[in-house]
Amino acid sequence: MSALASVAEARILESLEAGEEALISGKGKPLDLDGYFAAPSSLRAGFGMLKSAGVIPPEVEAMRGVNWLRDRITTVTDTEEKQALKKELMVRETELAMALERMKRSLKADAAG
């Protein structure tokens, strides 16, 4: 066992003995690391820091906005509002596609060295 693992294990045991069991989120549940390993290795550390800080990446926020607009379009009955939402959706989808393309190019450039 590495020194870091030993320290972590000791801290966990101390917390459990002190009755801080309720503070351990996800206790007894398996870790879901699919999302972590699905991310490119060059972005994992950054994504991990953003997640720990409770910050949503701009691309994810944009995807949520696009999905919200799609859902809204299906529920709106007013023709003018529906047209306005469709125009907004086209703009947001274009912005998202461009942002994802920039990210893809950046990753390729980083991988090429």
Q: How far apart are CA 96 and CA 66, in angstroms?
A: 9
**Rounded Cα–Cα distance for residues 90 and 42 (Å):** 30
pLDDT at 21: 59
pLDDT of residue 84: 96
> What is the pTM for the complete model shown?
0.58
Query: DSSP string covering 4-73, please?
Result: HHHHHHHHHHHHHHTT-GGGSTTTTS----HHHHHS-HHHHHHHHHHHHTTPPPHHHHHHHHHHHHHHHH
For the chain, give the number of residues.
113
Closest Cα to residue 94, out of 60, 66, 58, 68? 66
> CB-side exposure of 63: number of CA atoms within 13 Å?
7
Q: What would the pLDDT profile of 8-54 be if each residue is shown by its tens digit? A: 888 888 877 777 655 666 777 887 788 778 777 777 788 788 888 88
Q: If pLDDT is split at 50, 70 and 90, which confidence band does 113 have?
A: low
- Taking the C-alpha atoms of residue 13 and residue 39, their distance in angstroms, rounded to an integer, is 32
